[in-house]
Amino acid sequence: MKFCRLLNFFFATRLFAITTPQTKSEPLKIAISVTVGSRSHAKYLLEITRLLSSRGHSINYVCSEDSLKYSNGYNVSHTIVSDIAFNPISAEYIPFNKKSSTLLSNHIIKTIADIYNQSFPNFENYYMEHNPDLIICDFFSPSCIDSAAKFSIPMIIGYQSFSFLDSLPYFTTTNGLVPTTIENYSFLERFSHGILEPVKKVLSTSGYFRFLKQARKDNGVPATLKFTQFTNMGLAIANNYIGFEKSRSLPSHVYPIAHKKIIYIAFGSYIQLKNELAVNMLEHFQKLLNDGWVDGIIWGGVASTNSNSFPKTYTNLCLVGLISNLNYSSWAPQRAILNHPHTKLFMTHGGLDSIYEAIQSGTPMIAIPFVGDQPRNAALIKEHGVGDYIKWS
């Protein structure tokens, strides 16, 4: 039986029997907005535009004049909603110490309020003129979030990390050089954390947010003691390195964006595929992507594969990263990939180390054995119910 038929049969009967291929949607008008903050507030959102643009969506970067420069090199149009300069480096700083405050200065908060007042009506005009299907707001751009909520624009709020989402009871709230959880706190420390610190926080922020509260009232928006509000009115995305932040249950509006059905292919260090077989595999992997059976493929360890026979217009795009759902590389961190929950299938040559790593991670395998102990290893994979193999005729 031909390779392509076997591979389709495996997917149809084993892994994705209850899934249906994804359908392509109509191109959308998407706005991404950053009005306040440094490049780190814009970069992770603008990186998303590369994928969105490749899918045919039109992207408009709604920003201040200060944040316009962050979009250089991205395929986006621009709309300026504020010309007020945000310049936090005008103040002088000393290293953080026990007397320091983690709150922003009143000057910065007043500048944010001024940007809010100027940009809010411009957001309203933008919604009326462009009627975007979706706007993605950085959490540090309150006028974007509040205006989208007021005018019922579908919204996603972007966070630099999970630490900027709503805090949980076991997280400390001072943001200083102290433990980040109360795990090792004494009774008195927990009492202070649970009773005294919340009262102190309300007292310290009631005057702190007076400029922003007034700006919200002036624009017909309910004012709270939160810098970022209306978080329940849209999805959320976070540019977070999993494992760096403390564990937490994610709020229901946090929506992970990543490939969820990934095949990982690796045939060891010494197996060099025949040209026609390698090309046939590449073509069929692309067909699986096109038909929606999977949404990501990592072909690692291809240093011994002769990629010169691959279509140049295709492999060149892969190698420079312009085909976002197919990663083609000479080396890949196999153990980390196999341990990722979105890796649904491991296509292997049947090497023992690879098999052991897949068993340890619980990743189903499909083996294509070549030489030595690989055929017997493939048979063991099937007998133990941890995968299957393709028998070449």
Question: Do 177 and 294 sit in the same domain of this protein?
Answer: no
Question: Do 316 and 201 sit in the same domain of this protein?
Answer: no
3-state SS assignment for residue 309: helix
Question: Do 226 and 103 sit in the same domain of this protein?
Answer: yes
Q: What is the structure's pLDDT at 18?
A: 38
Question: Do 56 and 199 sit in the same domain of this protein?
Answer: yes
User: Is there a domain that residue 251 lies in?
Assistant: no
Q: What is the structure's pLDDT at 271?
A: 73
User: Is there a domain that residue 106 lies in?
Assistant: yes
User: Is there a domain that residue 243 lies in?
Assistant: no
pLDDT in tens, 32-50: 999 988 888 898 899 999 8
Q: What is the structure's pLDDT at 274?
A: 74
Question: Do 41 and 174 sit in the same domain of this protein?
Answer: yes
Residues 46, 22, 149, 102, CA torsion sign: negative
Listed in sequence order, the residues at least 6 apart from 292 whose beta carbon sits closer than 8 Å to its beta carbon are: 20, 21, 22, 23
Question: Do 276 and 223 sit in the same domain of this protein?
Answer: no
Range(s) of the domain holding residue 309:
3-19+261-389
Give the chain's domain count. 2
Q: What is the structure's pLDDT at 19?
A: 45
Question: Do 173 and 276 sit in the same domain of this protein?
Answer: no
Q: What is the structure's pLDDT at 20?
A: 44
The three-point CA angle 384-389-393 to 5° equals: 140
Listed in sequence order, the residues at least 6 apart from 145 whose beta carbon sits closer than 8 Å to its beta carbon are: 137, 139, 155, 157, 228, 229, 230, 234
Domain CATH number, residue 300? 3.40.50.2000
User: Is there a domain that residue 254 lies in?
Assistant: no
CB 111 within 8 A of CB 140: no
pTM over 0.75: no
User: Is there a domain that residue 121 lies in?
Assistant: yes
User: Is there a domain that residue 220 lies in?
Assistant: yes
Per-10-residue mean pLDDT, the chain, length 393 = 54 47 72 89 90 91 93 92 76 64 72 92 95 94 93 91 75 75 90 86 72 90 82 83 69 66 84 75 82 84 59 56 68 85 90 90 91 87 91 75
Question: Do 288 and 320 sit in the same domain of this protein?
Answer: yes
Burial level of 35, CB count in 10 A (0-12/13-18/19+)?
Answer: buried
Q: Of 238, 272, 294, which closes a domain? A: 238
CB 154 within 8 A of CB 135: yes
Q: Of 205, 238, 271, which closes a domain? A: 238
Map tokens 């085909």 to a residue.
323
pLDDT in tens, 99-123: 766 666 777 888 888 999 999 999 9
Question: Do 10 and 66 sit in the same domain of this protein?
Answer: no
User: Is there a domain that residue 181 lies in?
Assistant: yes
Q: Of 188, 205, 238, which closes a domain? A: 238
User: Is there a domain that residue 255 lies in?
Assistant: no
Question: Do 51 and 197 sit in the same domain of this protein?
Answer: yes
Question: Do 69 and 143 sit in the same domain of this protein?
Answer: yes
Ordered alpha helix ranges (H), the chain: 3-10, 39-54, 65-68, 106-130, 142-150, 187-191, 197-208, 210-218, 275-290, 312-319, 334-338, 352-361, 374-383
Question: Do 139 and 74 sit in the same domain of this protein?
Answer: yes
